[in-house]
Amino acid sequence: MATQDRNRIALLQGTLDLLILRTLIFGQQHGQGIARAIQRQSEDVLLVDHGTLYPALQRLEQKGWIKAEWGTSTNNRRARFYTLTRSGRKQLTRETSEWRKLTLAIGRIVGPET
Amino acid sequence: MWWWRKRQDFKAEIEAHLQLEADELHSEGLSSAEAQAAAQRVFGNRTSAEERFYESSHWMFGQHFVRDLRFAARMLVKDAKFSVLGVLALGIGIGVSTGIFALLGPMFQPHGSNVRSIEEVRNPASYVGLDRGRFRNFSFPEYRYFQDHSSALEEISAESAPYNVVLNAISEGGDAEQAVAAFESAGSMSVLGMQPALGRSFSKEEEQPGAPLVAILSNQFWRRRFGGDAGVLGKTIVLNAHVVRIVGVADPKFHADDASAIFLPLGLQPLVTGQGDWLRDSQTKWLMASARLRRGVSMTQAQAETYVLGAGFDGNGNPGTAQSTEDRVMVSPGGGDLQTALMAGAAKTVINVIVAMILMIACSNLANLLLARAAIRQREIGVRLSLGASRSRLVCQLLTESLLLSMGGGAVGLVFSVWLIRAISWLSPALVNLPSGAEVHLGQGALLYALVLSLATGFAFGLGPALAATKTNVARALHADGLSGTPSTPSHKMWSPRNLLVVAPLSVSLMLLIGATGLARALQNARTEPKFDASRVIGVTFRLKAQGYDESKSLQFQNTLRQRITTIPGVVSVALASGFPLPWLPPFGRCALSIDGSEISAGAAVCHAVSAGYFETLALPIVRGRAFSPSDRAGSEPAAIVNQELARTYWPGQEPIGKRIRGGDTFFEVVGVAANVQDAHGHFSFLLLPTIYVPAAQGNLLSRSSDSGGDRAASYQL
């Protein structure tokens, strides 16, 4: 684990929301699943602080972008499952395009890998 | 809904997360204990997550408020000197405001004799009062003249001022009693949009001389004395020794705010009062008139018409000569008492403004205290800001403190206001003008007023200092400067809030001081206390003529009465007079005079025939000349004493002694000037009338209205 941690990057502020919404596009998921999914999909580069994940989920729920209900996980544990709402989908589209523009712009400035 | 999500739920979710994570780590090959620990480690600070969840819930406001309240209370207790000072300052401000607020109601309650509240009028839009001259009253011929000639006004009606009558026992074995009656025209009730509750109202014929002896009872009197018995119609009462038949009961709202018990038709005036026939007399102005605007007629049109009509009437039905402005007939909306009402309203506003100023002074003092304190607490605030407290939280907290302070002030203020009310009612009962026995209570209105006032002042005057205090430069506040307790940015601006807080109360105080001086001067000029010593004087009225006594029997009665009263232990002196010294009931006891060729009409002067010892008994000072002596008897040179008002009005800057006044056909020589007797009733519209006193023995010489054998008031001093 120690070697893994060195390659990991802490999330940029504001990107967690995007990642959560993006993860939920494949269907409902519980918090731990979301954290794992982000980690896995980023090939263990992005580290999700589990402590900040839940307040973030809470915030998204308040904004109405996701909704939650209790259910049972694949290994028979009770967990709170989150689903993307219609407005959450719209928000995802918006944030994705913004993100693309941002990375493109930053990429131009930083320049290609030497 | 999410905001109902419980803390427990959030905890359970985190628990579930840890389980799921541990499961996964376990499946990845860690031992279950290691997996648990790793899951916990990766999660990080669990408490912090829970806190953040907690803060995002809507309950924060209430939570913060309770905490702020506790904190504020602690801070206030800690700085007891400041708190006590602040609470007292505010308490005085709020106390004065609330006390005056509670007093304003009864102070301006019209329970005078001829004050008619506007609410009494059902359709006020077209209702107008007619006022003529200084005394706003009309003579009977004048009233009839307007009734016959006005095309802009309809339903012109008239009524007299209240008049005391003697009523024989109503029920068998009861006592005779004095009751208040008023003479009313046929339309008196209908012009107000009222109907008799029983029976009928007066007819036009009953306004004429020689009217039948009929009466209408006031609703209150009917309920009180006849138990609301519908069989009262057709019964008779004996009023001033005349048998009068009851033909109706008035609308409950008719004269509801005065003591009138019996209404008599105008036509009965000569018979009932025994003071002359005012129905044929255009000099005696004894009627108050009101009317309705005819449909489509504007106030201005009506006013224009009454000007013309008023000018056309000189008392004998002949076209009048030039009319002085004072003698014009004024049409006023809502009845003549609107003026009084407006005056009272204006006075109310003035008092409210004054009270608001006092409150403002108290508040600015509080704000000053708060500012000073904020400066002292600069360091504390700096520390809290640097520890991450948000400015809004700090402002909230400081505001809570000032609100707590102002609520404390409000509570103290309530106590103060109760004391204030007691003090004022005790010091000047006339001002509070309450029926005896009644007390002013802090009603719900006053309590609410105090509460709103406290909250508003706490908020308004706490916000500024709170905002100022939190605008602290953290670095400086924590530095050595901050320690000294001086403000981080000393203001040198002329119009800084701090300076304003000193300047504003000072200027307001100055304004109040100037205003108070003016008020004191005004009060000196219009003192409402009687100038004679009334504290040990007892007045008794005998209506001898009304009881059927003739002249010789009356004289005999009076002599006997005088002798008998003198023998009562404790009686210092006795005097007889044709009327009481406070002439607030127009126009009874008034007479026509002629001074240096200028005529004073009957409504404009008061005449009293008084016995020897009158001025001594009332302790009414003779400020010039002499009092009556036994030598002022029938046959001797007719003598008179006038009051200061008469002397001032007719002989300004001249020596009144030795002047001559003609009353009837007799010339009276002025031998003395008595002090003015002024209305002690606390009425707003009291009149100080020119008054002439003549010796009772010479009283017959006054040809009009002073009927020597008639009504006598005896006053005796204990």
Mean pLDDT of B121-132: 64
Residue B321 touches partner A, C-beta closer than 8 Å: no
Residue B52 touches partner A, C-beta closer than 8 Å: yes
Which residue has better confidence, B217 or B177?
B217
The minimum CA-CA distance between A29 and chain B, rounded to whole Å, is: 12
The answer to whether B585 and B713 are in contact (CB under 8 A) is: no
pLDDT at B709 over 50: no
Among the ranges given (A105-114, B55-64, B170-179, B606-615), the one the predictor scored with the smallest mean pLDDT: B55-64
**Alpha-carbon span A91 to A60, nearest angstrom:** 11
pLDDT at B554 over 80: no
- Tokens 């009005």 belong to B649
Give residue B583's pLDDT band: very low, low, confident or very high (50, 70, 90).
very low
Query: How long, in residues, is chain A?
Result: 114
| pTM score above 0.80 | no
What is the sign of the dihedral through the CA atoms of B666, B667, B673 and B675?
A: positive
pLDDT on residue B247: 93
Residue B597 touches partner A, C-beta closer than 8 Å: no
Q: What is the ipTM of this complex?
A: 0.81
Tens-place pLDDT, residues B446-458: 788 888 888 888 8
**Alpha-carbon span B202 to B274, nearest angstrom:** 21
Give the N- to C-terminal CA distance of chain A in Å, as an integer: 29
**Alpha-carbon span B274 to B285, nearest angstrom:** 16
Give residue A86's pLDDT band: very low, low, confident or very high (50, 70, 90).
very high
Which chain B residues have a beta carbon less than 8 Å from that of A61? Answer: 2
Question: Could you tell me which chain A residue has the CA closest to the CA of B22?
Answer: A32
DSSP per residue, B338-385: HHHHHHHHHHHHHHHHHHHHHHHHHHHHHHHHHHHHHHHTHHHHHHHH
Question: Could you tell me which chain A residue has the CA closest to the CA of B49?
Answer: A51
Identify residues of A whose CB sits under 8 angstroms from chain B CBs.
1, 30-33, 35-36, 49-52, 54-55, 58-59, 61-62, 73, 75, 77-80
Kindly give the pairing relationship between strand B242-249 and strand B198-199: antiparallel
Tens-place pLDDT, residues B483-533: 444 444 554 555 566 677 777 777 878 887 887 777 766 655 544 444 555
User: Which residue in A54, A59, A62 is closest to B49 by CB distance?
Assistant: A54
Mean pLDDT of B279-294: 81
**Alpha-carbon span A107 to A109, nearest angstrom:** 5
The 3-state DSSP class for residue B422 equals helix
Q: Identify which of B257-266, B306-315, B553-562 has the greatest average pLDDT.
A: B257-266
> Can you list the alpha helix ranges (DSSP code H) found in B44-123?
46-56, 60-78, 80-107
Q: Is the peptide bond before B587 cis (omega within 30 degrees of 0)?
A: yes
With a CB cutoff of 8 Å and minimum separation 6, the contacts of B177 are: B166, B167, B169
pLDDT at B414 over 70: yes
Residue B278 neighbours by CB distance under 10 Å: 24
